Amino acid sequence: MNHQRRDTLKASGSLGVLGLLAAAGLIKPELAQAAWNKGAFEAHKMDEALAAIGAGKPADSTDIQITAPDIAENGAVVPVGVVSNIPNTESIAIMIEKNPAMLAATFEIPAGTIADVQTRVKMGQTSDVYAVVKADGKFYTTKKEVKVTLGGCGG
């Protein structure tokens, strides 16, 4: 395998292209996998996870909004939306402080895409949910607490 080419693709940030190529059967899935930020997704401490996405110590920002319920009926599915009003937002990461691995998802926002994403995450317990935004090469963050109950008795 041509490692140099693989590095070049990685460096150019063509994660999705690799995924697509793999989906199309043009490259082996392992190559697409190489783009997945294993270090960040397997980090068990906030500062490690932040470091792995290159964020260091992000600055608090009031220009990021997290949409999530104050209380969730079941931690298996917790809706989380993030809107960044910071100009030139390049990426958004969602982190759950009290999960065994904090990082849930990262989104790259190309020019023309609005910095407004929604997904659903698992939460092991009540926790702060963090949105970490990269804009113009700098990192910003905000957080919101989501309470998680386990609810009724299995039925």
- Measured from the CB of residue 23, what is the shortest distance to other proteins in angstroms? 4
**Nearer Cβ to other proteins (8/67):** 67
* Sign (positive or negative) of CA dihedral 55, 135, 63, 75: negative
**Nearer Cβ to other proteins (48/116):** 116
Buried b (16+ CB within 10 A) or exposed e, 21-38: bbeeeebeeebbebbebe
**Nearer Cβ to other proteins (61/106):** 106
- Measured from the CB of residue 140, what is the shortest distance to other proteins in angstroms? 19
**Nearer Cβ to other proteins (51/105):** 105
- Measured from the CB of residue 148, what is the shortest distance to other proteins in angstroms? 6
- Measured from the CB of residue 59, what is the shortest distance to other proteins in angstroms? 23
Residue whose entry in the numeric block shows the structure tokens 């299995």: 154
**Nearer Cβ to other proteins (106/141):** 106
Alpha carbons 14 and 152: distance in angstroms, whole number: 45
Q: What is the phi/psi pair of residue 41, to 5°?
A: -75, -20
- Measured from the CB of residue 138, what is the shortest distance to other proteins in angstroms? 20
Alpha carbons 32 and 28: distance in angstroms, whole number: 7
Q: For residue 58, give the DSSP letter.
A: P
Alpha carbons 80 and 129: distance in angstroms, whole number: 8
Residues that bind other proteins (CB under 8 A): 15-20, 22-24, 28-30, 32-33, 35-37, 41, 67, 69-79, 81, 96, 98-101, 103-110, 112-114, 116-126, 147-155
